[in-house]
Amino acid sequence: MKRFLKSFSLLFLTVLAFAGSQGPVLANTATGTSNTAGGGTVAWTNPLNITACDGVLATILPGTATTDDLRGQIIFSIPTNATIVGVQLNVTALTPTTTNAGAWNTVRIEAPSGTLVGVNKGTGVGNMTPTSTNFTFGGPADLWGTTWTVANVNGGNFIGNVTEKAVSAPGTIEVDCMSATIFFTVPGSSSDMLKVFSQTSWPGLKKPINESVISRLSGKEKLHAIGHAHPG
């Protein structure tokens, strides 16, 4: 019975939190003239080109200045009962020549109000090269130093915001696309738990558990029935 309880607790925890993700989702729309994040003074040309990874580029020639914010609104539809556990932003970018390479200045997430959320991920990132490169910021277990609710990311409330600078003038910088992925967990239901316990491949299971029968039992009766099916 002790072995059963140990197995049961592990499976129960697994069922209670299903891991999921949504993305990468491309920016739905984009702008390149504001300066909320980096205090830039040079606007982007064709910022809407970052809504597709197709080699058609948003461009800028910052000289010795910092670029304006390149902002991409990304629309998610995360389950309303989810807990967000990670945020990842991807930007595909390049610079035509290595002698005037482009560098990251700020990489942030922005709310529709213009408020910047979390930490700056633009520090300590390698310079761009003439080869188009997909730069990854954040990841499956990275919350960017803050907490997230589903409302923070759903319905167009998630905006990727990057600014860049030239290592030396003139330093042309080009961005192909921006996308993001949200990682989350959602709670499992009692029916999900029964589906797990109805599998006959569970090691040591003495006999299959009839889900249709157990589903009609109360909570305590369900555990009793499962215990008899797997007495350990």
The candidate with the shortest Cα–Cα distance to 46, out of 33, 61, 58, is 58
The answer to whether residues 29 and 89 belong to one domain is: yes
Q: Whole-angstrom Cα distance, residue 147 to residue 22?
A: 18
- Interval 140-149 mean pLDDT: 95
Phi, psi dihedral angles at 169 (to 5 degrees): -65, 150
Contact present, 154 and 180 (Cβ < 8 Å): no
The answer to whether residues 6 and 90 belong to one domain is: no
Pairing status of strand 116-117 against strand 102-110: antiparallel
Higher pLDDT, 17 or 174: 174
By mean pLDDT, which of 80-89, 149-158, 163-172 is the weakest?
Answer: 163-172
The answer to whether residues 167 and 154 belong to one domain is: yes
- Whether 196 has a pLDDT exceeding 50, the answer reads no
The answer to whether residues 222 and 107 belong to one domain is: no
Match 């007495």 to its residue by tokens: 231
Residue 105 burial (CB count, 10 A): 21
- Interval 192-210 mean pLDDT: 44
pLDDT band at 66 (very low <50, low <70, confident <90, very high): confident
Q: What is the structure's pLDDT at 125?
A: 84
The answer to whether residues 175 and 196 belong to one domain is: no
The answer to whether residues 68 and 126 belong to one domain is: yes
**What is the extent of the structural domain holding 175?**
19-186
Contact present, 209 and 226 (Cβ < 8 Å): yes
For the entire predicted model, the pTM comes to 0.74
**Helices assigned H by DSSP within the chain:** 2-16, 150-153, 190-197, 211-214, 219-229
pLDDT band at 223 (very low <50, low <70, confident <90, very high): very low
Q: What is the structure's pLDDT at 78?
A: 93
The candidate with the shortest Cα–Cα distance to 208, out of 196, 216, 198, 218, is 198
- Average confidence score pLDDT of the chain: 77
The answer to whether residues 128 and 213 belong to one domain is: no
- Whether 144 has a pLDDT exceeding 90, the answer reads yes
Q: Report the domain count for the chain.
A: 2
The answer to whether residues 12 and 66 belong to one domain is: no
